[in-house]
Structure 1
Amino acid sequence: MKPILQLIITLFTIQTGFSQQLVCSTKDKDAFESKIIEIDGLLESEFGKTITTVGKTFLGTPYVAKTLEVDAKEPLVINFQGLDCTTFVENVLAFSNLLKDSKTEFSDFTKTLEKIRYKDGSRDGYASRLHYFSEWIVNNEEKGLIKNITSDIGGIEIAKTIDFMSTHRELYPFLKDNEKNYNKIKASEKFLNNEVMCVLEQGKIEAHEHLIKSGDIIALTTSIKGLDITHTGIATREKDGRIHLLHASSSGEVKVSKEPLVDYLKKIKNNTGIMVCRPL
């Protein structure tokens, strides 16, 4: 049996008191309880440092792609056994906010994660998920969870048409044969194409690195046609005094990049720079 099938079979769907459809395994529910205990006492005076500290408790967690693609009805997926770059950032932000707000209940976590992952915090089918990370940034800034500081640290406005999902709908199981989802994704793309996108270009990052703080969310921009972001992670200033990337790496697991962010990016094909957001 293929691993993805094993994953789906071991998950179960539950209904909470606030009418939130969840997909969560007993193993993940236990992992939540363990994580709450693990992060107790990790709150820092600077929220960014809290983000980094909480993020490092996930070190070694396997990288697993497409963990949210489990059902056309788009339940809220809770999965700590495998993370991709976006679900890593979302889970770290959710746990860090729970820590900041002195909350420890599973229901508080699910509400927070849903708020982060979906447009305006409301889960309403596949297309309500913030698929494009640049839209994730805009929407979570509107919610007051983050601040896009890219323009403040040397970023410049760029003009780029975002339409990768609608022009490659065959790559997305719940998009390729669903006109309703397709039209809503097209609407998201139209929204993004009317927004200002700022990028700190790859060649200018080193000169502005001192303005990036531990805990800032880093989104890697790309030259790939129609696409905004290819990868994301969390900035961490390490013992060498340089900013590195704490991320769920497609090479295997959650890790801190061995080389500083500036050097790491030079090895990423099609990378053009970064967007930087500060959790609030």
Structure 2
Amino acid sequence: MKKQLFLMFLFFCCAISFAQQITCSPKDSVAFKTKIKQVKLISNASNFGDSLVAIGKTFLKTPYVAKTLEIGEKESLVVNLHGLDCTTFVENVLAFGLISRADSLNFTAFTNTLQKIRYRDGNLDGYGSRLHYFTEWIFNNETKGLVKNITNQIGGKIVKKEINFMGTHRDLYPFLKNDGNYNTILKTEEALNQNEFCVLAQEDIAANEHLIKTGDIIALATSINGLDVTHTGIAIRAEDGRIHMLHASTGSMQVEVTKLPLVDYLKKIKSNIGIMVARPI
């Protein structure tokens, strides 16, 4: 009976994948089923931030894998729960948190929510519709009512910087071999450059650390030309009373909590200029 139910589940996932441009392997179908059981056990956390961190911790030691969304020749909603980069870690945690809060712990709700988070205005319309730059990710998810950018409220200052890394490094992105995709990215960068964004400078984080809450999404701003953010994670106030970061680490190559408080962790990153903070709502 269990085998029959499992096969029905796989068939259901495949049917949805075909209809909604979803890429979900059998391995990830199994991982989803396991994750739902884990999420159900922690759905009664005292607040949403605590729930997100509890969900994030279920991914501890999951391997860091780069470019997990660069699959095939056509953009699809990739469901990958066994290999995460820093952004897909945040997206998956937020998606599971939202469907848990809505008491809709099923595959359709998850994929709909993940698409809403990952794509501009929630519409999957090719490679260019994905929110590649994290400043746009924050802005667009704020307009959807999923997060609130609180950087300016906790001491952040306006930064005016030209964002054009993808457009000036076309050779690093296989999907940009397609002229249509490339031109869409150029238009995205042009739109981004009409706006300013706030960054809480590295030297100001310690004085404002008390304003950051467990569950806040942390984006690491960078001095690298043309780029806004190099890494993301989720804030967690640890036993030492300090803010640490739960993230898919490129150092340990797995999901972990930083051993050092965020303030000290950032000092070891030469290109870091500070952080942006988005609070899930």
TM range, smaller chain:
over 0.9
Normalising to structure 1: TM-score of the pair?
Answer: 0.93
What does 1:31-46 align with in structure 2 at a 5 Å threshold?
31-43=31-43, 44-46=45-47
List runs of 5+ in structure 2 lacking aligned partners: 1-12
What does 1:77-88 align with in structure 2 at a 5 Å threshold?
77-88=78-89
Could you tell me which residue of structure 2 aligns to residue 69 of structure 1?
70
Q: Distance in 1 between matches of 2:236 and 2:192?
A: 29
Please list the CA deviations of residues 83-132 of structure 1 after superposition, one character each: whole Å capped at 9, or x if unmatched: 00000000000000011000111111000001100000010111111000
Please list the CA deviations of residues 211-269 of structure 1 after superposition, one character each: whole Å capped at 9, or x if unmatched: 00000000000000000000000000000000001000012100000000000000012
Verify the 8 A CA contact 1:214 1:234 in the aligned structure 2. yes
Q: Distance in 1 between matches of 2:190 and 2:41?
A: 44
List runs of 5+ in structure 1 lacking aligned partners: 1-12
**In the TM superposition, what is the alpha-carbon distance from 1:24 to its structure 2 partner?**
1.0
Q: Distance in 2 between matches of 1:136 and 1:14?
A: 28
* Aligned-partner SS, 1:239: coil
Please list the CA deviations of residues 127-163 of structure 1 after superposition, one character each: whole Å capped at 9, or x if unmatched: 1110001110010001000000000000000110000
The amino acid of 1:147's aligned partner reads K
Please list the CA deviations of residues 168-193 of structure 1 after superposition, one character each: whole Å capped at 9, or x if unmatched: 01100010x21111111111111111
Could you tell me which residue of structure 2 aligns to residue 218 of structure 1?
218
Q: Distance in 1 between matches of 2:18 and 2:24?
A: 16
Verify the 8 A CA contact 1:14 1:21 in the aligned structure 2. no
- Report the count of equivalent residues: 267
Could you tell me which residue of structure 2 aligns to residue 208 of structure 1?
208
* Aligned-partner SS, 1:174: helix
The amino acid of 2:108's aligned partner reads S
Q: Distance in 1 between matches of 2:250 and 2:100?
A: 28
Verify the 8 A CA contact 2:266 2:272 in the aligned structure 1. yes
**In the TM superposition, what is the alpha-carbon distance from 1:196 to its structure 2 partner?**
2.0
Could you tell me which residue of structure 2 aligns to residue 4 of structure 1?
none
Instruction: Please tell me the root mean square deviation across aligned C-alpha atoms, in Å.
Output: 1.2
What does 1:161-200 align with in structure 2 at a 5 Å threshold?
161-175=162-176, 177-200=177-200
Q: Distance in 2 between matches of 1:118 and 1:16?
A: 18
Could you tell me which residue of structure 1 aligns to residue 280 of structure 2?
279
Q: Distance in 1 between matches of 2:216 and 2:17?
A: 34
More helix per residue: 2
Could you tell me which residue of structure 2 aligns to residue 89 of structure 1?
90
Percentage of identical aligned residues:
61
Could you tell me which residue of structure 1 aligns to residue 135 of structure 2?
134
Normalising to structure 2: TM-score of the pair?
Answer: 0.93
The amino acid of 1:129's aligned partner reads R
Could you tell me which residue of structure 2 aligns to residue 248 of structure 1?
248
Q: Distance in 2 between matches of 1:48 and 1:111?
A: 21
Runs of 4+ that moved beyond 2 A? none
Could you tell me which residue of structure 1 aligns to residue 227 of structure 2?
227
Verify the 8 A CA contact 1:149 1:277 in the aligned structure 2. yes
Could you tell me which residue of structure 2 aligns to residue 116 of structure 1?
117
**In the TM superposition, what is the alpha-carbon distance from 1:71 to its structure 2 partner?**
1.8
Q: Distance in 2 between matches of 1:100 and 1:185?
A: 34
**In the TM superposition, what is the alpha-carbon distance from 1:41 to its structure 2 partner?**
3.4
Verify the 8 A CA contact 2:65 2:84 in the aligned structure 1. yes
